[in-house]
Structure 1
Amino acid sequence: MARGELMKKLLASYGRDEEFRAVAEQIILEEEQKNNRVLARSLRHTLDNATSANVRSSKQAPSQKLASLIPFPDAADDFVERVDPVHSHKDITLSHANTRVFDGLLQEYRRSEEIRRHGLAVRSKLLFCGPPGCGKTLCAEVFAAELGLPLFVVKLDRLISSYLGETAGNVRKIFEFAKRQPCVLFLDEFDALARSRDDSAEHNELRRVVNSLLLFIDRMQPRGFMIAATNLDSSLDPAIWRRFDEVIWFDKPDHALIKRFLKAKFKNVVIDFDLDRYVDRLEGYSFAEIERVCIQTIKAPLIARRKGIAESDFTAAIADESRRRAGRARL
């Protein structure tokens, strides 16, 4: 819609809070698609603050309370939590292949209106696969921050109701919300919801949930992105895979990625030894495990009240992580 028309609609809707916010959201979405992320974030922050201020003031004057920007339908807020990203692209180490994929997705989103005008679909449904601690959740957060979109995390423990017949209805609620609200909707541990229907241990009701899930994903055209993540890709129902526009694999870091990760983690501290000599010892570790090694190493001189990181600090941290890994292997 032309900017002039949007501004007229905005002014015309003044005093009708829900309509006003819907138009304001359209303006913010336009700025995001034009890659004006700083302006879009500022507008969204202002709008959110205005909502919060009105909610607070409603305690004195309930009639002045403003409606939510886009309310969660049918109490879907029981299953979805908004998370404010605290990390940026500087905090994540990706393979060259994954960097290329995400750059392409960002550019595609920013040119989405032009792409749709040519009758083409925009990739918006992503599946993240890989072992724990390899960056799936962090990547979803950074991706939302780069897009300037709010991040909503689905609380699967609440979504999967103890009353099995309610689960499909709960899934419908979050998909209805994501269709209306431009956002990144993140479903972690997706295998708990999309487990293979061939698994003989699964209850018939859970198989019906998967049937419903397949239908919802097919019909869903999010105004942002839906991201599902799993550590157990082999447990997913075979029909799930083709429902996603992209499947992105997060593997444990190789030699080159470990070097890049260590360099980024120790860039602001003084060390008196060559980190590269320890890269081989960290192969097979996840990013989360290597990060724990780095954090323990950096804390050691602070605890000992000395300057600079000693080689013994690093080797001790590796030994601690190795002991932790050995303990898990016995489980």
Structure 2
Amino acid sequence: MARGELMKKLLASYGRDDEFRAVAEQIIDEEEKKNNRVLARSLRKTLEAAPSRPPRPRGLAPLIPFPEAAGDFIELVEPVHTKQDIVLSLENVRVFIGLMKEFRRTDDIRRRGLPVRSKLLFCGPPGCGKTLCAEIFAAELGLPLYIVKLDRLISSYLGETATNVRKIFEFARKQPCVLFFDEFDALARARDDGGEHNELRRVVNSLLIFIDRITPKGFLVAATNLDQSLDAAVWRRFDEVIWFDRPDRRGVERFLNMKFKNVAISFDPISHAAELEGYSYAEMDRISVQAIKAAVIDMRKDVRESDFREALADERRRKHGSARLAQPT
């Protein structure tokens, strides 16, 4: 191929890592055929030293601007965790694999007139991985994650119309993304409370109608810590309900193995698994991180059992204080 054509291809492929490298290899081969071996070696060395960017997920549409008026209660979150950072039950792993396969065959499924599951409800106590799972799920699909804070949304629209609520769903209809409604139980409580402002009820009812009618290009995910607050009208709007429970003994052991797998330790964390039954993943994460930090602070190479015990004692103190605050006065 003529050198000029190769250079045009190289420029045209900029930003597409695999294609760019393939064209660069062609240019290097051309130089070797012309016996320009010094130049070819130099080019190949430069190419091999260049950092390889992670491949961009196929089919991910460019980000479109989010409606400015709604920006006060929605946030684009860049994923920092991977599937190696979460422990899920085997049942939930199976459900999420099924959802991802379904998403990737969306066009084929819809051509047959069949629905695609795209509206998910995450239920479970705090600290059991709902928000983390939404982040990792979006990253695995190659979709941007937008988090909507319902408490801010509701408080922002008292005395106003639901116009900007509509803008959220219009955005989700156009932009392939995971739109995550955190603290969704705030919506249920507001809807059922007879003392709430009529305008608030209208906003909430509009939101539920939009959820019912939307067919997102990605996923709409709502999370609640208080599933008992949700009435039947809310439940039926979701295609799938996924439960996040506190870990059992096996889940505790898997989490400890994951947390300490790349850390030098002088004790067996699994020996403390029985003491951690009933703790959430967030609580166990705090204990583990605090134990690891103790070694760093003391400038030691390994984490000791005493570090872990002290971190566990701190978490118990914290839980005891939280329980006292939760007691009625």
Query: Of the candidates 279, 283, 288, which is equivalent to residue 285 of structure 1?
Result: 279
1:76 aligns with 2:92: no
Tell me which residue corresponds to 2:240: 246
> Quick one: which amino acid aligns to residue 212 of structure 1?
S
Moved more, 195-204 or 178-187: 195-204
TM-score (norm 2): 0.78
1:317 aligns with 2:280: no
**Residue pair 2:157, 2:200 contacting (<8 A) in 1 also:** no
Q: For 1:112-158, what per-residue CA distance to the aligned partner results, in whole angstroms no more than 9, with x for missing partners?
A: 11111111010000011111111010000000000001111113344
Q: For 1:72-98, what per-residue CA distance to the aligned partner results, in whole angstroms no more than 9, with x for missing partners?
A: 346223332111111110111101111
Tell me which residue corresponds to 2:118: 124
> Quick one: which amino acid aligns to residue 237 of structure 1?
D
Query: Of the candidates 37, 51, 56, which is equivalent to residue 40 of structure 1?
Result: 56
**Residue pair 1:161, 1:167 contacting (<8 A) in 2 also:** no
**Residue pair 1:79, 1:174 contacting (<8 A) in 2 also:** no
The alpha carbon displacement at 1:306 in A equals: 2.1
The alpha carbon displacement at 1:163 in A equals: 4.7
Tell me which residue corresponds to 2:28: none
Tell me which residue corresponds to 2:137: 143
SS class of match (2:241): strand
Return the alpha-carbon distance in structure 2 between the equivalents of residues 292 and 220 of structure 1: 38
Query: Against the structure 1 CA distance between its residues 273 and 71, is the aligned structure 2 distance closer, same or farther, given a 3 Å change threshold?
Result: closer
Aligned length: 272
The alpha carbon displacement at 1:170 in A equals: 2.8
Return the alpha-carbon distance in structure 1 between the equivalents of residues 112 and 73 of structure 2: 36
> Quick one: which amino acid aligns to residue 119 of structure 2?
K
Return the alpha-carbon distance in structure 1 between the equivalents of residues 120 and 85 of structure 2: 21
TM-score (norm 1): 0.77
The alpha carbon displacement at 1:271 in A equals: 1.8
Tell me which residue corresponds to 2:42: none
Unaligned runs of 5+ residues in structure 1 are 1-37, 48-68
**Residue pair 1:74, 1:173 contacting (<8 A) in 2 also:** no
**Residue pair 1:255, 1:280 contacting (<8 A) in 2 also:** yes
Return the alpha-carbon distance in structure 2 between the equivalents of residues 263 and 281 of structure 1: 15
1:210 aligns with 2:204: yes
> Quick one: which amino acid aligns to residue 308 of structure 1?
D
The alpha carbon displacement at 1:313 in A equals: 1.0
The alpha carbon displacement at 1:71 in A equals: 2.7
SS class of match (2:64): coil
Return the alpha-carbon distance in structure 1 between the equivalents of residues 67 and 299 of structure 2: 54
**Residue pair 2:154, 2:203 contacting (<8 A) in 1 also:** no
1:233 aligns with 2:227: yes
Moved more, 192-201 or 232-241: 192-201
Return the alpha-carbon distance in structure 2 between the equivalents of residues 105 and 42 of structure 1: 17
Query: Against the structure 1 CA distance between its residues 303 and 294, is the aligned structure 2 distance closer, same or farther, given a 3 Å change threshold?
Result: same
Give the fraction of aligned pairs with identical amino acids, expressed as a percent. Answer: 68
SS class of match (1:82): strand
1:270 aligns with 2:258: no
The alpha carbon displacement at 1:44 in A equals: 6.3
**Residue pair 1:301, 1:308 contacting (<8 A) in 2 also:** yes
Give the structure with higher Rg (CA): 2
> Quick one: which amino acid aligns to residue 159 of structure 1?
L
Tell me which residue corresponds to 2:169: 175
RMSD: 2.0
Unaligned runs of 5+ residues in structure 2 are 1-53
